[in-house]
Amino acid sequence: MKIIRAKNYDHMSRQAANIISAQVILKPDCVLGLATGSSPIGTYEQLIKWYEKGDLDFSQVRTVNLDEYVGLDREHEQSYAWFMRSHFFDHINIDPSNTNIPCGTALDGNAECKRYDDTLRSLGEIDLQLLGIGPNGHIGFNEPDSCFTKGTHKVALTETTIRANRRFFQREEDVPRFAYTMGVCDIMNASRVVLVASGADKADAVKAAFFGPITPLVSASILQLHPNFTLVADEAALSKV
Ligand code: GLP
Protein backbone atom coordinates (compact mmCIF):
# COMPACT_ATOMS: atom_id res chain seq x y z
CA MET A 1 0.00 0.00 0.00
CA LYS A 2 1.32 3.40 -0.96
CA ILE A 3 0.04 6.50 0.82
CA ILE A 4 0.13 9.91 -0.82
CA ARG A 5 -0.44 12.57 1.81
CA ALA A 6 -2.13 15.61 0.32
CA LYS A 7 -2.48 19.00 1.96
CA ASN A 8 -6.21 19.39 1.30
CA TYR A 9 -9.07 18.36 -1.02
CA ASP A 10 -7.73 20.28 -4.05
CA HIS A 11 -4.26 18.85 -3.67
CA MET A 12 -5.68 15.33 -3.20
CA SER A 13 -7.77 15.78 -6.35
CA ARG A 14 -4.79 16.90 -8.43
CA GLN A 15 -2.64 14.03 -7.19
CA ALA A 16 -5.32 11.45 -8.06
CA ALA A 17 -5.95 13.12 -11.44
CA ASN A 18 -2.23 12.94 -12.20
CA ILE A 19 -2.25 9.17 -11.67
CA ILE A 20 -5.36 8.73 -13.85
CA SER A 21 -4.03 10.99 -16.59
CA ALA A 22 -0.78 9.00 -16.71
CA GLN A 23 -2.89 5.86 -17.16
CA VAL A 24 -4.84 7.40 -20.05
CA ILE A 25 -1.66 8.69 -21.73
CA LEU A 26 0.17 5.37 -21.38
CA LYS A 27 -2.79 3.29 -22.56
CA PRO A 28 -5.32 5.35 -24.54
CA ASP A 29 -7.81 2.45 -24.72
CA CYS A 30 -7.58 1.65 -21.02
CA VAL A 31 -10.49 0.49 -18.85
CA LEU A 32 -11.15 2.90 -15.99
CA GLY A 33 -13.26 1.85 -13.02
CA LEU A 34 -15.02 4.99 -11.78
CA ALA A 35 -16.65 6.11 -8.56
CA THR A 36 -19.27 8.63 -7.52
CA GLY A 37 -19.68 10.68 -4.35
CA SER A 38 -18.23 14.06 -3.43
CA SER A 39 -14.68 12.70 -2.98
CA PRO A 40 -13.81 12.19 -6.68
CA ILE A 41 -15.57 15.32 -8.04
CA GLY A 42 -12.38 17.41 -7.81
CA THR A 43 -10.43 14.66 -9.57
CA TYR A 44 -12.92 14.72 -12.45
CA GLU A 45 -12.76 18.52 -12.59
CA GLN A 46 -8.99 18.41 -12.93
CA LEU A 47 -9.14 15.76 -15.66
CA ILE A 48 -11.67 17.93 -17.55
CA LYS A 49 -9.27 20.91 -17.35
CA TRP A 50 -6.44 18.87 -18.83
CA TYR A 51 -8.77 17.55 -21.52
CA GLU A 52 -9.77 21.13 -22.41
CA LYS A 53 -6.10 22.08 -22.69
CA GLY A 54 -5.63 19.25 -25.19
CA ASP A 55 -3.48 17.12 -22.88
CA LEU A 56 -5.89 14.20 -22.56
CA ASP A 57 -7.89 12.18 -25.08
CA PHE A 58 -10.69 9.93 -23.83
CA SER A 59 -11.95 8.84 -27.26
CA GLN A 60 -10.83 5.24 -26.79
CA VAL A 61 -11.22 4.99 -23.00
CA ARG A 62 -13.80 2.54 -21.66
CA THR A 63 -15.34 2.91 -18.21
CA VAL A 64 -17.23 0.85 -15.66
CA ASN A 65 -18.88 2.44 -12.68
CA LEU A 66 -19.02 0.80 -9.31
CA ASP A 67 -22.67 1.10 -8.47
CA GLU A 68 -26.15 2.51 -8.94
CA TYR A 69 -29.20 3.03 -6.74
CA VAL A 70 -32.00 0.52 -7.29
CA GLY A 71 -35.14 2.30 -8.48
CA LEU A 72 -33.55 5.47 -9.87
CA ASP A 73 -33.89 6.06 -13.59
CA ARG A 74 -30.74 7.26 -15.41
CA GLU A 75 -32.45 10.66 -15.84
CA HIS A 76 -33.01 11.04 -12.07
CA GLU A 77 -30.71 13.81 -10.82
CA GLN A 78 -29.46 11.68 -7.94
CA SER A 79 -28.78 8.61 -10.06
CA TYR A 80 -25.13 7.77 -10.49
CA ALA A 81 -25.69 7.71 -14.27
CA TRP A 82 -26.70 11.39 -14.06
CA PHE A 83 -23.78 12.14 -11.70
CA MET A 84 -21.24 10.70 -14.14
CA ARG A 85 -22.65 12.61 -17.09
CA SER A 86 -22.89 15.93 -15.28
CA HIS A 87 -19.54 15.72 -13.46
CA PHE A 88 -17.43 14.04 -16.11
CA PHE A 89 -18.70 12.36 -19.29
CA ASP A 90 -20.53 15.38 -20.76
CA HIS A 91 -17.32 17.44 -20.53
CA ILE A 92 -14.85 15.11 -22.25
CA ASN A 93 -14.70 13.29 -25.59
CA ILE A 94 -15.65 9.88 -24.25
CA ASP A 95 -17.95 7.76 -26.41
CA PRO A 96 -21.12 7.23 -24.29
CA SER A 97 -21.35 3.68 -25.62
CA ASN A 98 -17.99 3.00 -23.94
CA THR A 99 -19.39 3.88 -20.50
CA ASN A 100 -21.08 1.33 -18.25
CA ILE A 101 -23.22 1.75 -15.14
CA PRO A 102 -25.67 -0.75 -13.60
CA CYS A 103 -29.27 0.00 -14.60
CA GLY A 104 -31.20 1.10 -11.51
CA THR A 105 -34.59 0.43 -13.08
CA ALA A 106 -33.93 -3.09 -14.37
CA LEU A 107 -37.03 -5.21 -13.73
CA ASP A 108 -35.10 -8.35 -12.89
CA GLY A 109 -32.37 -7.64 -10.31
CA ASN A 110 -30.61 -10.98 -10.71
CA ALA A 111 -30.52 -10.60 -14.48
CA GLU A 112 -29.11 -7.07 -14.11
CA CYS A 113 -26.31 -8.31 -11.82
CA LYS A 114 -25.49 -11.04 -14.33
CA ARG A 115 -25.58 -8.56 -17.22
CA TYR A 116 -23.15 -6.28 -15.39
CA ASP A 117 -20.81 -9.16 -14.54
CA ASP A 118 -20.86 -10.17 -18.22
CA THR A 119 -20.02 -6.55 -19.14
CA LEU A 120 -17.09 -6.57 -16.73
CA ARG A 121 -15.83 -9.84 -18.18
CA SER A 122 -16.17 -8.60 -21.76
CA LEU A 123 -14.08 -5.51 -20.96
CA GLY A 124 -11.25 -7.58 -19.54
CA GLU A 125 -9.06 -6.29 -16.75
CA ILE A 126 -9.77 -2.88 -15.21
CA ASP A 127 -6.51 -0.96 -15.63
CA LEU A 128 -7.25 1.56 -12.89
CA GLN A 129 -10.07 1.56 -10.37
CA LEU A 130 -10.84 4.86 -8.66
CA LEU A 131 -12.62 4.62 -5.29
CA GLY A 132 -14.00 6.77 -2.52
CA ILE A 133 -14.75 5.41 0.94
CA GLY A 134 -18.01 5.45 2.87
CA PRO A 135 -18.10 6.54 6.52
CA ASN A 136 -18.40 2.87 7.53
CA GLY A 137 -15.41 1.92 5.38
CA HIS A 138 -17.38 0.63 2.40
CA ILE A 139 -16.16 0.69 -1.21
CA GLY A 140 -18.74 0.85 -3.96
CA PHE A 141 -21.78 -0.12 -1.93
CA ASN A 142 -20.12 -3.15 -0.33
CA GLU A 143 -21.66 -2.65 3.08
CA PRO A 144 -20.41 -4.38 6.27
CA ASP A 145 -21.03 -8.09 5.82
CA SER A 146 -20.03 -11.50 7.13
CA CYS A 147 -18.03 -12.26 3.97
CA PHE A 148 -16.50 -10.42 1.00
CA THR A 149 -18.94 -10.62 -1.93
CA LYS A 150 -17.38 -11.56 -5.24
CA GLY A 151 -19.44 -10.21 -8.12
CA THR A 152 -22.15 -7.64 -8.81
CA HIS A 153 -24.97 -7.92 -6.31
CA LYS A 154 -27.98 -6.10 -4.92
CA VAL A 155 -27.36 -4.73 -1.45
CA ALA A 156 -29.55 -3.28 1.28
CA LEU A 157 -28.00 0.04 2.33
CA THR A 158 -27.20 0.45 6.01
CA GLU A 159 -28.61 3.22 8.18
CA THR A 160 -25.14 4.88 8.22
CA THR A 161 -25.06 5.01 4.42
CA ILE A 162 -28.65 6.20 4.13
CA ARG A 163 -27.88 8.98 6.61
CA ALA A 164 -24.64 9.92 4.81
CA ASN A 165 -26.41 10.14 1.44
CA ARG A 166 -29.45 11.94 2.88
CA ARG A 167 -27.85 15.29 2.00
CA PHE A 168 -28.40 14.68 -1.71
CA PHE A 169 -32.16 14.07 -1.40
CA GLN A 170 -35.03 16.30 -0.37
CA ARG A 171 -36.39 13.91 2.26
CA GLU A 172 -34.90 10.94 4.09
CA GLU A 173 -37.62 8.69 2.65
CA ASP A 174 -36.43 9.60 -0.86
CA VAL A 175 -33.02 7.98 -0.28
CA PRO A 176 -33.06 4.60 -2.03
CA ARG A 177 -32.79 1.62 0.31
CA PHE A 178 -31.08 -0.71 -2.17
CA ALA A 179 -28.27 -0.48 -4.68
CA TYR A 180 -26.44 -2.60 -7.23
CA THR A 181 -22.72 -2.72 -6.66
CA MET A 182 -19.69 -4.35 -8.13
CA GLY A 183 -18.27 -6.93 -5.75
CA VAL A 184 -15.09 -6.69 -3.73
CA CYS A 185 -13.37 -9.31 -5.91
CA ASP A 186 -14.14 -7.29 -9.07
CA ILE A 187 -12.42 -4.32 -7.42
CA MET A 188 -9.49 -6.45 -6.25
CA ASN A 189 -9.00 -7.75 -9.82
CA ALA A 190 -8.16 -4.24 -11.07
CA SER A 191 -4.47 -3.82 -11.98
CA ARG A 192 -4.21 -0.62 -9.99
CA VAL A 193 -6.51 0.83 -7.33
CA VAL A 194 -6.54 4.48 -6.23
CA LEU A 195 -8.73 5.55 -3.31
CA VAL A 196 -9.35 9.21 -2.53
CA ALA A 197 -10.32 10.29 0.99
CA SER A 198 -10.75 13.81 2.27
CA GLY A 199 -11.89 15.47 5.48
CA ALA A 200 -12.04 14.71 9.17
CA ASP A 201 -15.31 12.77 8.77
CA LYS A 202 -13.34 10.09 6.87
CA ALA A 203 -10.58 9.79 9.48
CA ASP A 204 -12.20 6.89 11.38
CA ALA A 205 -12.95 4.99 8.16
CA VAL A 206 -9.37 5.48 6.89
CA LYS A 207 -7.95 4.29 10.21
CA ALA A 208 -10.21 1.23 10.37
CA ALA A 209 -9.71 0.27 6.72
CA PHE A 210 -5.97 0.68 6.30
CA PHE A 211 -4.56 0.49 9.82
CA GLY A 212 -6.82 -2.19 11.30
CA PRO A 213 -7.65 -5.84 10.65
CA ILE A 214 -8.78 -7.04 7.21
CA THR A 215 -12.47 -7.78 7.65
CA PRO A 216 -15.66 -7.77 5.53
CA LEU A 217 -17.12 -5.52 8.24
CA VAL A 218 -14.94 -2.80 6.67
CA SER A 219 -14.87 -3.73 3.00
CA ALA A 220 -12.08 -1.29 2.06
CA SER A 221 -9.73 -3.16 4.41
CA ILE A 222 -9.20 -5.86 1.77
CA LEU A 223 -7.28 -3.28 -0.26
CA GLN A 224 -4.39 -3.81 2.18
CA LEU A 225 -3.81 -7.02 0.20
CA HIS A 226 -3.90 -5.39 -3.24
CA PRO A 227 -0.44 -5.40 -4.88
CA ASN A 228 -0.88 -1.97 -6.46
CA PHE A 229 -3.04 0.09 -4.13
CA THR A 230 -2.55 3.83 -3.56
CA LEU A 231 -4.39 5.81 -0.91
CA VAL A 232 -4.51 9.51 -1.77
CA ALA A 233 -5.73 11.23 1.37
CA ASP A 234 -5.56 14.69 2.79
CA GLU A 235 -4.22 15.58 6.22
CA ALA A 236 -7.66 15.67 7.82
CA ALA A 237 -8.52 12.16 6.58
CA LEU A 238 -5.15 10.92 7.88
CA SER A 239 -5.46 12.73 11.21
CA LYS A 240 -6.17 9.58 13.26
CA VAL A 241 -3.27 7.47 11.96
C1 GLP B 1 -21.45 6.19 -1.71
C2 GLP B 1 -20.78 5.57 -2.93
C3 GLP B 1 -19.31 5.29 -2.68
C4 GLP B 1 -18.65 6.53 -2.13
C5 GLP B 1 -19.31 6.91 -0.83
C6 GLP B 1 -18.68 8.12 -0.17
O7 GLP B 1 -21.74 5.27 -0.74
N8 GLP B 1 -21.41 4.34 -3.29
O9 GLP B 1 -18.68 4.87 -3.88
O10 GLP B 1 -17.27 6.29 -1.93
O11 GLP B 1 -20.68 7.22 -1.13
O12 GLP B 1 -19.11 9.28 -0.78
P13 GLP B 1 -18.51 10.71 -0.49
O14 GLP B 1 -17.27 10.78 -1.31
O15 GLP B 1 -19.55 11.67 -0.96
O16 GLP B 1 -18.24 10.80 0.96
Q: What pLDDT digit, counting tens, does each position of 176-192 carry?
A: 999 999 999 999 999 99
For 24-65, write each residue's pLDDT tens digit.
999 999 999 999 999 999 999 999 999 999 999 999 999 999
> With the C-alpha atoms ordered 119, 35, 61, 77, is the resulting torsion angle positive or negative?
positive
Q: Is the pLDDT assigned to residue 209 strictly greater than 90?
A: yes
pLDDT of residue 150: 87
Which atom of ligand 1 is nearest to 36's Cα?
9
Verify whether ligand 1 is closer than 6 Å to residue 80 (CB atom): no
Bridge-based pairing state of the strands 153-156 and 178-181: antiparallel
pLDDT of residue 200: 97
For residue 30, the CA-to-ligand 1 centroid distance in Å is: 24
DSSP, residue by residue, the chain: -EEEEESSHHHHHHHHHHHHHHHHHH-TT-EEEE--SSTTHHHHHHHHHHHHTTS---TT-EEEESEEETT--TTSTTSHHHHHHHHTGGGS---GGGEE---TT-S-HHHHHHHHHHHHHHH-S-SEEEE---TTS-STT--S-SS---S-EEEEPPHHHHHHHGGGSSSGGGS-SEEEE--HHHHHTSSEEEEEE-SGGGHHHHHHHHSS--BTTBGGGGGGG-TTEEEEEETTTTTT-
Q: Mean pLDDT of all residues in the chain?
A: 97
For residue 29, the CA-to-ligand 1 centroid distance in Å is: 26
Q: 199 falls in which pLDDT band (50, 70, 90)? A: very high
For 113-140, write each residue's pLDDT tens digit.
999 999 999 999 999 999 999 999 999 9
Which atom of ligand 1 is nearest to 161's Cα?
7
Bridge-based pairing state of the strands 178-181 and 67-69: antiparallel
For residue 181, the CA-to-ligand 1 centroid distance in Å is: 12
Q: Is the pLDDT assigned to residue 143 strictly greater than 90?
A: yes
Which atom of ligand 1 is nearest to 157's Cα?
7
Verify whether ligand 1 is closer than 6 Å to residue 35 (CB atom): yes
Is 0.95 topped by the overall pTM? yes
Verify whether ligand 1 is closer than 6 Å to residue 133 (CB atom): yes
Q: What is the mean pLDDT of residues 94-109?
A: 97
Q: What is the mean pLDDT of residues 135-154?
A: 94
- Using N-to-C axis directions, what is the helix angle for 9-26 and 41-52, rounded to 10°? 50
- Any bridge partners for residue 180, and if so which? 68, 154
Q: 5 falls in which pLDDT band (50, 70, 90)? A: very high
pLDDT of residue 141: 96
Atom 13 of ligand 1: nearest residue by CA position = 37
10 has catalytic annotation: no
pLDDT of residue 156: 95
pLDDT of residue 8: 98
pLDDT of residue 13: 98
